[in-house]
Structure 1
Amino acid sequence: MKNLDNLKTMIITGGSRGIGAATAKLAAQNGFAVVVGYHKNQQAAEEVTAEIKAGGGLTLAVQVDISLEPDVKRLFAETQRVFGGLHALVNNAGILERQMRLEEMDVARLNRIFAANITGQMLCAREAIGLMSTKHGGLGGTIVNVSSIASRTGAPNEYIDYAVSKGAIDTLTIGLAKELAEDGIRVNGVRPAFIYTDIHTDGGEPGRVDRIKDSIPLKRGGLASEVAEAILWLSSERSSYSTGIFIDVTGGR
């Protein structure tokens, strides 16, 4: 067992698949104890934690619906109970729904998207601040918000509601970086796009990346592992003078 006094702990929401799973594995390889937050897919989360444990890492899977405040509080309380503290939060969990135009969207869909993609990420950031802020007795840390290039393009005719939610996350990143600079917490964002993950299936077009890859300057889709590298850099001391910035992982688009 590693010495928990010297251990750095990272919470990754949406950590059971795609970018979250790739980040969890890379974080473990870089010495973090990793808390894998997952919504529904317990088997996928256990597969991620099993791989981390097989490599000698420390990890924990916690079921959480980040749109529910009691769930979020339980996630952070369990992290503190098991690992004694928190050093990094990766606000990765998010959803999108079937491609359509705004005039087809009902309020129930909008509420689902905004609850998961805005309120949930803000709740997680709030709880992380309570554990990491030097003003609250913490040792400082990092928050990385996973946004999307959709925050800049608007995702017309596909999922403008998702784009709006990611625009809010960009604003959160900028404001929170300034708010927490004196608390020892750096806040940054990554904006992926055209990444091979199953989120495109959720949008109703699993082959979306292949359809548009010729319009990407690098002429290919991206890998979840490539986004994870950006997240880990922002979560580490290698980016110690960066806060309120974004890394676009978009193949040049």
Structure 2
Amino acid sequence: MSPDAATRPVPTDPARRPATRPVTIVTGGGRGIGAAISERLAADGHDLFLTYRDRRDDAEAVAERCRAAGARVVLHRVELADLDAVAAVVPTAVAEFGTVTGLVNNAGITGRIGPFLDAPIEESELVFRINVLATIVLCRSAIAHMSTVLGGAGGSIVNISSGAATTGSPDTYIPYAASKAAVNVLGMGLAKEFGMAGVRVNTVSPGTTHTEIHAAAGRPNAPAERAARFPMRRAAEPHEIAGAVAHLLSDDASYTSGADIRITGGA
């Protein structure tokens, strides 16, 4: 990927800029937490650019529910391990909508659940490439478009981290926890560097949530298995994460930047 590809300002065509509706990119918007975020944002009046990797039918079903709520929705297939493809996401969204006002970096992977010494380094490399490097590329591209210093109109970014970032997740997925700790620090730094440019950056850190990510990691029953450890004695539901994201993208959070909202049931 060209060093400047993700930071070159994306031109906005004023003729295509919506008068009032925010336009938000949600990565991994076709399933799990991403689907819940997409549907909540559609209900709140956002138009949406949703990325997905596979299972187009699932993404289409989410898009149709969002359209039924009044949103304009564009689906975009991308492999987040391909950083050149990732660098094209924001420009493609701007070409479709005329502007982008919000970015939710939701898509990510955990790697296999298990002891640290059993985690292949190749898997850890992929975890960091998708969870950290792709997030950096998307943030660079979005900020270059949104920054008022560079001619943009400002905007808001929400990075989805994990409660694991502060526990280390021993015997579970330490490399994943480390990648999410990097996401936390990324959000903190970006909020401080670009607050003066009209870009707010915040983080939402869910605890264990009922999604398919656990099955992909080899432990489909993980939410039920872990529930007894949590003060609320249950795992989260995706819609309980979506509400915090919607708040951070809203005008109600206009002075909130650099925050990390933990949604972990008290853990």
Q: What range describes the TM-score normalised by the shorter chain of this pair?
A: over 0.9
* Mapped partners of 2:17, 2:144: distance in 1: 23
Dislocated runs of 4+, deviation >4 Å: none
**Among 43, 49, 58, the residue aligned to 2:63:** 49
| Shift of residue 140, structure 1, vs aligned partner | 0.5
| Shift of residue 108, structure 1, vs aligned partner | 1.1
**Equivalent position amino acid for 2:218 in 1:** G
Specify the alignment match of 1:164 in structure 2.
178
| Shift of residue 106, structure 1, vs aligned partner | 2.0
What is the TM-score with the length of structure 1 in the denominator?
0.96
In 2, are the aligned partners of 1:217 and 1:252 still within 8 Å (CA)?
yes
* Mapped partners of 2:82, 2:90: distance in 1: 13
Specify the alignment match of 1:32 in structure 2.
46
Specify the alignment match of 2:96 in structure 1.
82
Matched, 1:198 2:215: no
**Equivalent position amino acid for 2:26 in 1:** I
- SS of structure 1 residue aligned to 2:104: strand
Query: Structure 1 regions of 5+ residues with no counterpart?
Result: none
Q: CA RMSD in A?
A: 1.3
| Shift of residue 96, structure 1, vs aligned partner | 1.2
* Mapped partners of 1:123, 1:81: distance in 2: 18
**Equivalent position amino acid for 1:245 in 2:** A
* Mapped partners of 1:182, 1:120: distance in 2: 24
| Shift of residue 129, structure 1, vs aligned partner | 0.6
| 1:198-217 pair list within 5 angstroms | 198-217=212-231
| Shift of residue 68, structure 1, vs aligned partner | 1.9
* Mapped partners of 1:125, 1:183: distance in 2: 14
**Among 157, 172, 196, the residue aligned to 1:143:** 157
**Among 125, 135, 145, the residue aligned to 1:131:** 145
| Shift of residue 3, structure 1, vs aligned partner | 7.8
Specify the alignment match of 2:107 in structure 1.
93
**Among 35, 40, 57, the residue aligned to 1:21:** 35
Specify the alignment match of 2:12 in structure 1.
none
* Mapped partners of 2:153, 2:232: distance in 1: 40
Matched, 1:72 2:72: no
Q: Tell me the percent identity.
A: 35
- SS of structure 1 residue aligned to 2:25: strand
**Among 163, 166, 169, the residue aligned to 1:155:** 169
| Shift of residue 55, structure 1, vs aligned partner | 2.4
**Equivalent position amino acid for 1:120 in 2:** A
In 2, are the aligned partners of 1:66 and 1:124 still within 8 Å (CA)?
no
In 1, are the aligned partners of 2:42 and 2:67 still within 8 Å (CA)?
no
In 2, are the aligned partners of 1:66 and 1:123 still within 8 Å (CA)?
no
Specify the alignment match of 1:122 in structure 2.
136
In 1, are the aligned partners of 2:207 and 2:236 still within 8 Å (CA)?
yes
Aligned length: 252
In 1, are the aligned partners of 2:201 and 2:258 still within 8 Å (CA)?
yes
* Deviation larger for 210-219 or 225-234: 210-219
* Mapped partners of 2:249, 2:81: distance in 1: 24
**Among 220, 239, 242, the residue aligned to 2:256:** 242
| Shift of residue 76, structure 1, vs aligned partner | 1.3
- SS of structure 1 residue aligned to 2:74: strand
**Equivalent position amino acid for 2:149 in 1:** K
- SS of structure 1 residue aligned to 2:19: helix
**Equivalent position amino acid for 1:56 in 2:** G
* Deviation larger for 223-232 or 205-214: 205-214
| Shift of residue 5, structure 1, vs aligned partner | 3.0
**Equivalent position amino acid for 1:79 in 2:** A
**Equivalent position amino acid for 1:169 in 2:** V
In 2, are the aligned partners of 1:186 and 1:244 still within 8 Å (CA)?
yes
Matched, 1:109 2:135: no
The Cα offsets for residues 85-111 of structure 1, whole Å up to 9 and x where unpaired, read as 111100111001211222122221111
Specify the alignment match of 2:11 in structure 1.
none
- SS of structure 1 residue aligned to 2:107: coil
